Chain A
Amino acid sequence: MPAVQETVERVKRIDVDQYRYGFETLIDTEKAPKGLSEEIVKFISQKKNEPAWMLQWRLEAYRRWLTMTEPTWARVDYPKIDFQDLYYYAAPKPKKTVNSLDEIDPEILKTYEKLGIPLREVAMLEGVEPKVGEDDPSRRKIAVDAVFDSVSVATTFKAELKKAGVIFMPISEAIREHPELVQKYLGSVVPTSDNFYATLNSAVFSDGSFVYVPPGVRCPMELSTYFRINERNTGQFERTLIIADKGSYVSYLEGCTAPQRDENQLHAAVVELVALDDAEIKYSTVQNWYPGNSEGKGGIYNFVTKRGDCRGHHSKISWTQVETGSAITWKYPSCILRGDNSRGEFYSIAISNGFQQVDSGTKMIHLGKNTSSRIISKGIAAGKSQNTYRGLVTAHRKATGARNFTACDSLLIGDKCGAHTVPYIEAKNSSATFEHEATTSKISEDVLFYCVQRGLSQEEAVGLVVNGFVKDVLQQLPMEFAVEAQKLISISLEGSVG
């Protein structure tokens, strides 16, 4: 049988059901009644013991949301979402203040163990350092905040971070403990009126991570948040706010998984980054939400607003994302290059297989003088998936000397998938230099045959070629996660060729 035909056959039999994180955790949860109303918004705010200003903020967002309609410009297709048919709040029971790991539901701990999230292994108990010899000194420490459905269940290394002056805690706690910081920065990058999903998030977000790095501090470890949707019919709306004060540096990673379910689940997060003068934020994502089964049933609808504001001069924000999951991805991590000489970067690997639909890219908005940005996007489409890169590069008329370099490469596996590139470029001043390169290629039968002739299996061959294709982006991930991401890429493409 000719190889092309074989590939097609294989893709037909594709088994997306091999999603490794599809298990469900059986625990008691407390849920708000289904549907969305001012009462629900008040309920969430009350549950979180929020101050009045926060409730007011949410209600304004909610009222705004009622006047908005869902965006339809993305190249994705899905049945209309009934926003009254969702739960907007779910929390593992019982929920009092958790002081040590032992007070966390063992089922939840088991879940994170299965997911390979090191909550217990790495000196989880607050302030307890690993015993000598227990921790491999060559391995850098990673502080983890774990968010289960709507609630943050554990944050590790809090004490050690506190010593350095770094605040890393659930945003619900930050609202109570650091109201001045939250009030100053929340909504300052993604305003409550920004877009349909961001506004919805502003009204109902229940948790997420908060990071503040004080002036001149280089955060002593990688910070990481792990998001897990468990409940049925529950939307996850987390909110992340990271502030890097003058001359500071922080590297942050988020990971996401969800159980395998027949119905679609909504995830609408907002991430705001603020980098002040000379500060740098490196934000990495390994997104592995459940992508749906082989018939395209189920999977997460991922409608996320991520934006970084290079507010200070010489500041830098770098987004790196590895997107392998979700039935639908609608996501454009962006940089507002406000400060003079600031720099924005976007490195992306988006893999789609089965019936997945990806519409993702970035916006680089050059406002300050001599600002620069770099976009490296690698889209890989297999199965019957559709993979779109959508990007905007724009230079304000005062942004003299703005520079951008964009390279968008797409790789097709099989002949039932599609790759699309939609770049928008606007320069309002003549001194801006924008470069755009794009390629689309098919993984050739000749390359695969060459590899298998040398002893690699078909799947090893595809993995090797794809990993070569995405190498420039993988190099941007923190070491620990690059290896993980490489494995994830191979798993996502299993069964994509004959």
Chain B
Amino acid sequence: MALLEVKDLKVRVEEREILHGLTLTVNEGEVHAIMGPNGSGKSTLSHVIAGKPGYEVTDGQILFRGEDLLEMSPDERAAKGVFLAFQYPVEIPGVTTMNFLRTALNAQRKARGESELMVPDFLKKVREVSKSLNIPQDMLKRGVNVGFSGGEKKRNEVLQMALFEPSLCILDEMDSGLDIDALRIAADGVNALRSPKRAMVVITHYQRLLNYIVPDVVHVMSKGRVVKSGGKDLALELEASGYAQFEDAA
């Protein structure tokens, strides 16, 4: 079943059109990779799906399980199951990671009309997940992302993904700023979350990440459009020949 349908999406930022009619369909259980050069509109797409302010949608639509996503506030989208793993996760001083996780999880549950998770159940769950991600307990007591290394920040994103159990995960340049070991840990965490009920959109410049998170479908973006789609081999092809061949196609 189609989880996410982006139809002929046109998006402007301050009078400049970034996406010129982008179409993309992601089904439940699938992992899609979106590749493309700098400035092709990959991050814009992820921000518009999540509802970041500052973007003006001039045409097209985004449906999530058939519902109009653009009509929802960002927090409503989160409660519906849209999760964006940030390229640059922000720091929130004075707010412990544990407190943040609990506040966010309960806000989502409340929005869905579910009861708040009891503290012991919550702690048990956090401990399980953080252990599997190699996240030390003292990291959870520190301010959100404050003083975290690049790898720790990304693992913290994966931790939240595991806790909130979203149905759509968008990973924006997850590999940026990570060494090979840190990348492997984060990717293992993501792979553990692959499920027939969950779809993922992996945004990246490099094929490298796709060695760890193997996609079902690869899309190439250029100048605000999807210019080619194919299987996982398309990524290898790109790695060999570069993006230049698509510049003209767009």
Binding site for B on A (CB under 8 A): 1-3, 6, 444-447, 449-458, 460, 464-465, 467-472
Q: Which of B51, B89, B95, B160 contacts A468 (CB 8 A)?
A: B95
CA distance A446 to B145 in the complex (A): 14
Q: Chain A interface mostly helix, strand, loop or mixed?
A: helix
CB within 8 Å for A449 and B52 given contacts A455-B164, A468-B143: yes
Q: Are B53 and A464 in contact (CB under 8 A)?
A: no
CB within 8 Å for A464 and B100 given contacts A447-B92, A453-B78, A454-B78: yes
Q: Are A449 and B53 in contact (CB under 8 A)?
A: yes
Question: Could you pull out 25 A-B pairs where Cβ atoms are within 8 angstroms?
Answer: A1-B53, A446-B90, A447-B92, A449-B53, A450-B92, A452-B73, A452-B75, A454-B78, A454-B104, A454-B107, A454-B160, A454-B164, A455-B104, A455-B107, A455-B108, A455-B111, A455-B164, A456-B75, A456-B103, A456-B104, A457-B75, A465-B92, A468-B92, A469-B93, A470-B94
* Nearest CB in chain A to that of B108: its residue: A455
* Nearest CB in chain B to that of A441: its residue: B93
Tell yes or no: B74 within 8 A of A by CB.
yes
Residues in A with CB closer than 8 Å to B78 are 452-455
Q: Are B94 and A467 in contact (CB under 8 A)?
A: yes
Q: Are A3 and B89 in contact (CB under 8 A)?
A: no
Residues in A with CB closer than 8 Å to B84 are 453
Residues in A with CB closer than 8 Å to B74 are 449, 452-453
CB within 8 Å for A445 and B53 given contacts A465-B92, A465-B95: yes
Tell yes or no: B113 within 8 A of A by CB.
no
Q: Are B89 and A460 in contact (CB under 8 A)?
A: no
CA distance A465 to B100 in the complex (A): 10
Q: Are B95 and A467 in contact (CB under 8 A)?
A: yes
Residues in B with CB closer than 8 Å to A471 are 94-95
CB within 8 Å for A460 and B103 given contacts A447-B90, A454-B78: yes
CA distance A450 to B160 in the complex (A): 12
Residues in A with CB closer than 8 Å to B104 are 451, 454-456
Question: B102-133 vs A: 1/0 string, CB under 8 Å?
Answer: 01110110010000000000000000000000
* Nearest CB in chain A to that of B96: its residue: A468
CA distance A470 to B78 in the complex (A): 27
* Nearest CB in chain B to that of A2: its residue: B54
Tell yes or no: B86 within 8 A of A by CB.
yes
Q: Are A444 and B90 in contact (CB under 8 A)?
A: yes
Residues in A with CB closer than 8 Å to B53 are 1-3, 6, 445, 449
* Nearest CB in chain A to that of B111: its residue: A455
Q: Interface residues of B, CB < 8 Å — how many?
A: 30
Tell yes or no: B79 within 8 A of A by CB.
yes
Tell yes or no: B50 within 8 A of A by CB.
yes
CA distance A464 to B93 in the complex (A): 10
B199 CB to nearest chain A CB (Å): 17
Max chain A CB contacts within 10 Å: which of B51, B73, B104, B111?
Answer: B104
* Nearest CB in chain A to that of B75: its residue: A452
Residues in B with CB closer than 8 Å to A451 are 92, 104
CA distance A412 to B6 in the complex (A): 37
Max chain B CB contacts within 10 Å: which of A2, A449, A460?
Answer: A449
CA distance A468 to B103 in the complex (A): 13
15 new A-B contacts, CB < 8 A, other than A451-B104, A455-B164, A465-B92, are A2-B53, A2-B54, A3-B53, A445-B54, A449-B53, A452-B51, A453-B74, A453-B77, A454-B100, A455-B78, A457-B73, A464-B100, A468-B95, A468-B143, A471-B94
A10 CB to nearest chain B CB (Å): 12
Residues in A with CB closer than 8 Å to B93 are 468-469
CA distance A454 to B159 in the complex (A): 12
CA distance A221 to B105 in the complex (A): 38
CB within 8 Å for A468 and B75 given contacts A455-B111, A456-B104: no
CA distance A470 to B93 in the complex (A): 10
* Nearest CB in chain A to that of B74: its residue: A452
| Top-4 shortest CB links A-B | A468-B94, A3-B53, A468-B95, A455-B108
Q: Are B103 and A450 in contact (CB under 8 A)?
A: no
CA distance A29 to B94 in the complex (A): 47
Residues in A with CB closer than 8 Å to B83 are 453
CA distance A472 to B95 in the complex (A): 11
CA distance A269 to B143 in the complex (A): 39
Max chain B CB contacts within 10 Å: which of A1, A6, A456, A469?
Answer: A456
B86 CB to nearest chain A CB (Å): 7
Q: Which of A6, A450, A460 contacts B86 (CB 8 A)?
A: A450
B143 CB to nearest chain A CB (Å): 7
A337 CB to nearest chain B CB (Å): 29
Q: Which of A6, A457, A464 contacts B95 (CB 8 A)?
A: A464
* Nearest CB in chain B to that of A474: its residue: B94
Residues in B with CB closer than 8 Å to A6 are 53
* Nearest CB in chain B to that of A446: its residue: B90
B96 CB to nearest chain A CB (Å): 9
Question: B27-65 vs A: 1/0 string, CB under 8 Å?
Answer: 000000000000000000000001111100000000000
CA distance A464 to B102 in the complex (A): 12
Max chain A CB contacts within 10 Å: which of B73, B79, B90?
Answer: B90
Question: B125-165 vs A: 1/0 string, CB under 8 Å?
Answer: 00000000000000000010000000000000000100010
Max chain A CB contacts within 10 Å: which of B53, B73, B95?
Answer: B53
CB within 8 Å for A455 and B75 given contacts A447-B90, A469-B94: yes
Residues in B with CB closer than 8 Å to A464 are 92, 95, 100, 103
CA distance A469 to B164 in the complex (A): 26
Residues in B with CB closer than 8 Å to A446 are 90
